[in-house]
A and B are shown apart, each in its own frame.
Chain A
Amino acid sequence: MKTSWMKRQQYLGYLFIGPNMLGVLLFFIVPAAYSFYLMFTDYKFMNPDTNFIGMANIRRMLQDEVFYTAIGNTLLFLLSVPLSIGLAFVVAVVLNRSVFLKKTLRALYFMPYITSGVAVAFVWMLLFHPNNGPINGILRSLGVANPPGWLSTMDTSMYAIDIIWIWFMLGYNMIIYLAALQEVSGELLEAAKIDGARTWQTVRTILWPLVSPTTFLLLITGLIMSIKQFGIIQAITQGGPGNSTTVLSLFIYQNAFRYYEMGYASAISWALFLIILLFTAAQWMGQKRWVHY
């Protein structure tokens, strides 16, 4: 049957995968192994004298104040993930059944996601301009006497980045929810209507539990995707003011390519890997529990 022909010309399997495997070896596996080695050295770019220093980089990381600042900033940044997912759920539920122009609206909400990147980041930089920016202009006209400094002050900068990131991720999360909602049977919702369930009740007791696997998936993939992101932040604030927007991934980049502390940067990058490993493990374990139907 199926297996008999699938096992024919087995050697061709290697030919089909070979070219790709070579690239994965060169650009993923070898660099990963190399980085693992660098973690235990004091490698600096252009410095010929590299020594094996054991756990010194890891000890240094655990004593580095900026590392903990970066962890804190990363947590603040990751706050945007559940917020964006929550908003996307609301948008998706409304778009799914009860509006005209569904496709146009879907495209408009999705647009930020496809145009991601630094160009958009620079637009937000001006929108958030503390003195004259349009956002604070609107806030002032609404009667806010001292609108926030957004990207320019230490205690608001991370939240300003969060707003940009929520805006950016919303369309992606919405698309995934729309796909999940389409699989919810209309009959179920009709039955709920006949029972006299209110819209809010239907959403809360039927839709939300039904899409919980999707919510969970979005949460984990969103966390992983966001924790790796540093481009937008590097483009707008370079981690400042102070270290107030230095997230972990940016901290690694700066150590490696601003200070050329490449051994140290490698050690921190493996801490980032550990966090991603934890998220992935949570995904594997959670997948079984979170399916509510």
Chain B
Amino acid sequence: MTRALVQKIVLTLLMLFFSIVMIVPFLWMISTSFKTPAEVFHYPIRWIPADFHWEHHLKIWTGPNSFVHYYLNSLKVALLGTAGAVLLSALAAYGFARIEFKGRNALFLIYLSMMMVPPQVLFVPKFIMFDWAGIYNTHWALILPGMFTIFGVFMMRQFFLSVPYEISEAAFLDGAGHFRIFSRIILPMAKPSLATLAIIDFSWHWNDYENALVFLIDQDLFTVPLGLQNFILENNVDYNGMMAAATAGIIPMILVFLIGQKYIIEGVASSAVKG
């Protein structure tokens, strides 16, 4: 073996070791969710429990405050929010990228500046406004604002700018208008970008704890992060149940990641490099 090959193998093993350190919290979580209470803090750590105990998982998936309920709430909020966000972002991005109209640059500047406003500035007024409009403590308080993502507009605009203009020109000469060009030509070309935005946006909605914390109070409206918090408040020494609940919260994101890995990684990489 050459020296370079040995070096490569050693580095691979080293990086593999550190990557396992990175995912150890997940492994420990899953392992703990199958243990007995006595085994939780047993040291040295028993990665594979002596017996597999399913009752902690059973506990969180059944009964009055079951995760079935939280899952349905989260799915509703995340799917509706994501669908709206992808559609509205694509429409606006097309307007910004491929139509020239009066005030476009000024409007875009307003969008830019809104990116700097932290959510903390908006929570209080939104709370008051939602209360007034009657959507406070309903899922609409998460879904409606969730449909508007400035990041999404930027991302899609970036893609639309990269589509050659000759394509639109040719379509115009054939008598097509903007709506036809958008729906028949540009949107189909943008499928990978749309998928990326959809996955990233879905993960935001699924993981969103802060908005749910501010805008929901009724337990039967709780999304998964709030359900998880609620479980922990009510069962603060049931560590096995806690880890079963955490597993339930994390597994969907791991599945989404495994399925959409290519889109997620490329989307994250391109969005930041292009600024």
Contact = CB atoms under 8 A, between A and B. Distances in A.
A237 interface: no
Interface in A105-161: 105-112, 114-120, 122-124, 126-127, 129, 131-134, 137, 140-141
Interface stretch (B48-56, B57-65, B172-180, B187-195): B172-180
A16 B23 contact: no
B11 A27 contact: no
A141 B114 contact: no
A17 B129 contact: no
Contact of B265 (A38, A124, A175, A252): A175
A20 B148 contact: yes
B101 A14 contact: yes
A13 B95 CA distance: 5
B222 interface: no
B178 A32 contact: no
Interface string B99-135: 1111010010011001011111111111111000000
A19 B88 contact: yes
Contact of A23 (B148, B165, B242): B148
A266 to B, nearest CB: 6
Given A30-B125, A31-B125, A175-B268, A5 B169 contact: yes
B273 A214 contact: yes
Given A120-B25, A132-B41, A99 B12 contact: yes
Interface centre among B40, B44, B117, B145 (most CB of A within 10 A): B117
A81 interface: no
Contact of B99 (A9, A217, A235): A9
A25 to B, nearest CB: 9
Given A100-B12, A105-B19, A24 B150 contact: yes
Contacts of A124: 25
Contacts of B239: 126
B165 to A, nearest CB: 5
A34 B129 contact: yes
B153 interface: yes
B243 A31 contact: no
A7 B100 contact: yes
A21 B92 contact: yes
22 contacts: A14-B95, A16-B178, A17-B96, A20-B88, A21-B92, A27-B145, A30-B129, A94-B15, A100-B9, A105-B12, A109-B19, A114-B264, A116-B207, A117-B253, A118-B225, A123-B29, A127-B28, A129-B41, A137-B41, A179-B273, A218-B272, A272-B120
Interface of B: 7-9, 11-12, 15-16, 18-20, 22-23, 25-26, 28-29, 32, 40-41, 43-45, 88-89, 91-92, 94-96, 98-102, 104, 107, 110-111, 114, 116-129, 144-145, 147-148, 150, 153, 165, 168-169, 172, 177-179, 182, 203, 206-210, 213-214, 224-225, 228-229, 232, 239, 242-243, 245-247, 249-250, 253-254, 256-257, 261, 264-265, 268-270, 272-273, 275
Across the A-B interface, the 4 shortest Cβ-Cβ residue pairs: A16-B95, A13-B101, A119-B249, A132-B41
